[in-house]
Chain A
Amino acid sequence: MTNEPEVGMRHLGLAPWLQTAWDLRAAGNFVGGGSGTGLLIITSLGAFGGLYSRGAILVGLVLVGLGLFSVFLEIGRPLRAMNVLLGGKRSWMTREAFVAAVLFPLGTAALVYPDLAKLIWVPALAYLYCQARILEASKGIPTWRSPLILPLILTTGLAEGAGILLVLAPMAFDSATPPDWAASALIAALAARIFVWMTYRRRMVAGEAPVEAAAVLVAFSAPFTLGGNIIPVVMVIGAGLEPSIAVAALAAAGLAAMAGGWMLKVTIVTKAAQNQGFAIKHSPARGAGEPGPGIKPGWTDSSNT
C-alpha cells in the first residue's frame, strides 16, 4: 500500500481546471476511431465507383481497433470491460460498442466479399457519430459539450480518412495515383472542417468556454489552420499542377490532414478540457449587511450575472 496522492486529485480551487480523468489513452480512441471510420466511409463510398482496396479496409479496421484498445487501457477495472454493453438505453459509449460489434464483422467479411464494401459506410458513420455524441454528452467540460463538437468530430474524421486514403494510395491501388475524387473528397472535408473549427473556436472564445480553455484553442488555431488545413490544400493544388510530383504531394497532403486531425483531438481531449469550475449567483447577506453579487471564477463573465 502506498501513500502517493494521485495527480489531479487535489482540491484545485474555484476556477475551472484541466480534467485528468481522460488522458492520451482516451484521446487515442477518438484518434483511432475517427481516422479509422473516416477511412472506411471514404473507401466504402468509393466502392460505388468501382474502388476496392483490402488494404484500406484493413487499415481502417485496425485503426478503430487500436482506438478501442487504447481506451481499454484507461479503465480502472478492465476485467469488467464487457459491462460497457449494459447502458444502451442512455449512454453513447455503449452505443459505440454496439456499433463496433457490427462494424468489425462486416468489415472483416468485406475483406473476403468485395461487394460488402458498399455497406461499411453505414456502421462506420454510426460509429463516428457515437464518438461525437460521447464528447457532446460530457456536460462537465464546456469545450466538449458544445453542439459544434458534433460537426467538428464528423468533418475531421472524414478529412483524416480521405487523407489516409491518399497516403495509402501508392500501396493500396493498382495505380499509384489515387482516383481524382479522393483528392476532391479531401479538399471538401478540409473546407468543412476549417469552417466548423473557426465557428467553434469563435464561440468558445466568446464565452462558451473557460478563459484558460479558450486560450489553449487560440494558441492551437494558427498551427492547425496552416499545417492541418491550408498546407494540404496547397499540396493538392500543386499535385494537380505538376503531375510528376503528384504521388508524393498527395501523400504529403493526406499525411498533413491526418496529423492535423489527430492534434485537434488530442488538444481538445487533453489540453482544452478545463471543467466547469464553481460559481455562485449571489453573495449572502451576513448579519445586518446586504447581499452582494455572485462570482464565476475563470470565465470571461466572472460576475455570473
Chain B
Amino acid sequence: MTKWAIVADLGRCVGCQTCTTACRHANATPPGVQYRKVLDMEVGTYPDVRRVFVPVGCMHCDEPPCRDVCPTTATKKRADGMVTIDYDICIGCGYCIVACPYQARYKVSKPTFAFKGEATANETKRFDERLLGVAQKCTFCVDRVDYGLANNLTPGIDPEATPACVNACLSKALTFGDTDNPDSNVSTLLRQYKSFRMHEELGTGPNIHYLWESED
C-alpha cells in the first residue's frame, strides 16, 4: 500500500512563506484562501523565548472528520491516503469546514483576485468556476502526483511528481513521500528524528509529521 504524507522539519523551516506562495501560484487561490500556510509561533517567556515556524494545511487524515460528516460523499479518501473533494457533487453546506480541527477548508462564493477586480494572467489561466460555492482545500497536488505515477516518476523525489509547496521549500524543511514504504525519504526522516503530529489526541491520524529533534 501507499500512504502519502508530508514531513515538516521545524528545525529547518525559516518561515519564508515560499511554500505558501508556490501553493497560491499552483492553485490560484483567491485572497484569504491559503491551502498551505506557515504559522509564526512565539514560545516561552523572557528570557527563554523562541520562534517556531509551523507549516499547516490539510493533514489528509487517516480518519478524516470532513469525510465522515459530508452529506454528499463529495469528500472521499483515496486508497493512497489523499483526501479529495468532488467539486461537482459538493453542495457547499460548510459542514466539513466546522468538522476539520485544522481549519484547512474554505468556501468562496464569488470570484476574487489578488489585485482589485482584475485577474492576473495566472489567475485567469487557472480560474475554475467549479470551486465557487463549494468546499476547497489542499489536494497534496494530486494532479502532479498522479501525473508522476503515470509517467514512472517518484512523488517526493522527482519535482514533476511532487507537491508545489515541497518543491519550493528553500531550506528543505518539507519532504513528501510514502510512509508505508520503509525505505522512503519520509520514513527515513521519521526514524532519524523525533516527531509529533498536531491535535493527535483527536484521533484523526493527521499525515503531516513535525520533526523537532534528532534521535541522536
Contact = CB atoms under 8 A, between A and B. Distances in A.
A278 B103 CA distance: 9
A80 to B, nearest CB: 5
Given A3-B117, A76-B109, A278-B56, A283 B212 contact: yes
B65 A137 contact: yes
Nearest to A85: B71
Interface string A271-295: 0010111111111111001011111
B215 to A, nearest CB: 12
Contact of A86 (B41, B73, B99): B73
Interface in A66-97: 71, 74-78, 80-81, 83-87, 89-94, 97
A1 B71 contact: no
A74 B110 CA distance: 14
B108 A140 contact: no
B10 to A, nearest CB: 4
Interface in B11-44: 11, 31-34, 37, 39, 41, 43-44
Contacts, number: 205
Contacts of A295: 41, 43, 52
B119 interface: yes
Interface residues of A, number: 61
B116 interface: yes
Interface residues of B, number: 66
B67 interface: yes
A22 B98 contact: yes
Interface in B102-120: 102-103, 106-113, 115-117, 119
Given A278-B198, A279-B199, A1 B48 contact: no
A73 to B, nearest CB: 11
Contacts of B41: 14, 278, 280, 295, 297
Contacts of B73: 86-87, 89
Contact of A11 (B37, B112, B117): B37
B92 A77 contact: yes
Contacts of B134: 76-77
B81 interface: no
B96 to A, nearest CB: 9
Contacts of B109: 6, 76
A30 to B, nearest CB: 13
A169 interface: no
A280 B113 contact: no
Given A1-B119, A11-B34, A139 B202 contact: yes
A139 B94 contact: no
B68 A91 contact: yes
B112 A285 contact: no
Interface centre among B10, B34, B93, B99 (most CB of A within 10 A): B93
Interface centre among A2, A83, A97 (most CB of B within 10 A): A83
A9 B106 contact: yes
Contacts of B113: 1, 3
B132 interface: yes
B111 A137 contact: no
A134 B96 CA distance: 11
Contacts of A286: 11, 50
Interface of A: 1-6, 9-11, 14, 19, 21-22, 26, 71, 74-78, 80-81, 83-87, 89-94, 97, 134, 137-141, 144, 273, 275-286, 289, 291-295, 297
17 contacts: A1-B117, A3-B113, A4-B110, A19-B97, A77-B91, A84-B91, A86-B72, A90-B69, A137-B65, A137-B68, A140-B99, A141-B98, A280-B52, A283-B44, A284-B212, A292-B48, A293-B44
